[in-house]
Chain A
């Protein structure tokens, strides 16, 4: 188990991490997501003993890893790390994979067997004698993964392992991550700026922002119940609007957003400044005339402000006093004859409005 307690890291006078706290369970896949420059790599490097924290403690199985100077080698040898840009040692693929085993003094026959198994695992059987520098980026990243796994680490750290790869290679690496976790029970900490990758792979996600974890939770929690408006924006909640609670009772509240009243489920009390997070999938668009009543819900009249393509869908933004975006299929847009300027109504339930405290920056 990895425990991060109030971990901070400063480089000269730049604070990268400030009070990072989290617990990562044995056998868990934990994704650290966050925008570029949030300190994801720095955090992983601190865990792998490649850098020292400026403050706080990192414990693995109860041991403060940065305090135990004599044991730092054996602690480091419990872990494997895969970097964003894999380093190809200037030798053969097989020798690249064997490096960790050679460091541990493994015998030649053991090395040969394990290297072959590792090549098999990453789908590069037969590549052993090729020069590592001749591999493609995706192949080299798989070699890097094999190199880290051949030493059977308890913890595998992966620093944006798919950031520079093509979609097919990304898929292959993701499969391997899940397979390694399933077959070996390896604890995996993976950093990514791709929130969907976090969702696909992780048991839990930590959203690293402004030097600390803004939220730690299951992918579902992070996506549907973002802890604050920054997290909401980062995980792709399209509608994040600020307002003030004007009425509240029994877990229901009415929020004033620039003069428009929105019903929501929340326990905030009257007068509090809040932020409403509404996922675009939860918003229905209907022609203004055809809007049916929605008990306890919201029906907001407005006009279509813009329609922009988004893969096989269209993103329709309605101005209801504040902009609300929904996602509709092309066919629906055609059937409803929605055009820029069309009068429509946007409807959504009170339950689909996630209310967080407004954070003033």
Chain B
């Protein structure tokens, strides 16, 4: 019990003194997951729009499949990407294994289904009269899509938040394709909050783990606060 309390005190010290190692790990987590979220957003929005407004055979089944992939296990994504980029894999020559890039790819793949699915929900949630009104006001296809996005902006923003939340909190894919390497340079190191917590805990460095955990929660809280603030404006 005492050790836990001591852990919290030490964690507070690490955070307050902006411990360089802890800050670097937190910053790296944010950079990697944010990059993955941006990439996934750029893919999910057009994809979601195409599926929502498109009429093609198998559309319903595709949406079902996407929804099933919401709960895609992170280690499965990690394994899949690992197989693709490992030395013997089809993209082995790119030498991406155990790099931050690999982690970005894995996280992008991981959150793409949920972001696409939630984008579809966001777009289909727009009142059909809004759609008719836009067309009747003489919108081109592009003007129509842009304005539907505007109407669905808060729901899409929430989608982005969910995607980022899933990316930054996952550990399975990060550890498989990243490897939790603590390199000297910021860019080649693959130690992020979740993998570091996992490692530090297993090594008995409870204070570090608690500090990293608090930071992880704080980031999630911050993102949610930001979204809520925007939505209430």
Contacts and interface: CB of A to CB of B under 8 A. Distances in A.
Contacts of B150: 89-91
Contacts of A147: 133, 137
Contacts of B21: none
Nearest to A99: B137
A89 B130 contact: yes
Nearest to B144: A103
Contacts of B134: 99
Contact of A89 (B136, B138, B143, B151): B151
B136 A86 contact: no
Contacts of B6: none
B229 interface: no
A77 interface: yes
A148 B136 contact: yes
A163 to B, nearest CB: 13
A116 interface: no
B138 A100 contact: yes
Contacts of B138: 73, 76-77, 100, 103-104, 151
A50 B140 contact: no
Contacts of A99: 134, 137, 147
Given A86-B129, A87-B129, A87-B130, A48 B136 contact: yes
Which of B127, B130, B133 gathers the greatest number of chain A CB atoms within 10 Å?
A: B133
B140 A87 contact: no
Contacts of B140: 73, 103
B151 A100 contact: no
Contacts of A50: 132, 135-136
Given A73-B138, A73-B140, A103-B140, A90 B151 contact: yes
B139 interface: yes
A151 B135 CA distance: 13
A81 B136 CA distance: 6
Which applies to chain B's interface (DSSP): helix, strand, loop or mixed? helix
A83 interface: yes
B139 A103 contact: yes
A204 B17 CA distance: 82
Contacts of A73: 138, 140
Interface residues on B, range: 10 to 19
Interface residues of A, number: 26
Nearest to A76: B138
Nearest to B135: A50
A80 B143 CA distance: 17
A315 interface: no
Given A73-B140, A77-B138, A100-B137, A89 B129 contact: no
Interface string B134-161: 1111111001000100110100000000
Interface string B106-140: 00000000000000000000010110111111111
A147 B201 CA distance: 62
A209 interface: no
A85 interface: yes
Contacts of A91: 150
Contacts of A45: 132
13 contacts: A50-B136, A77-B138, A79-B136, A80-B137, A81-B136, A86-B133, A87-B130, A89-B130, A89-B133, A89-B150, A90-B150, A103-B138, A157-B136
Interface of A: 45, 48-50, 73, 76-77, 79-81, 83, 85-87, 89-91, 99-100, 103-104, 144, 147-148, 151, 157
Given A87-B127, A87-B129, A89-B147, 10 more contacts: A49-B135, A76-B138, A79-B136, A81-B133, A87-B133, A90-B150, A99-B134, A103-B140, A144-B133, A148-B136
A-B residue pairs, 3 tightest by C-beta: A81-B136, A77-B138, A100-B137
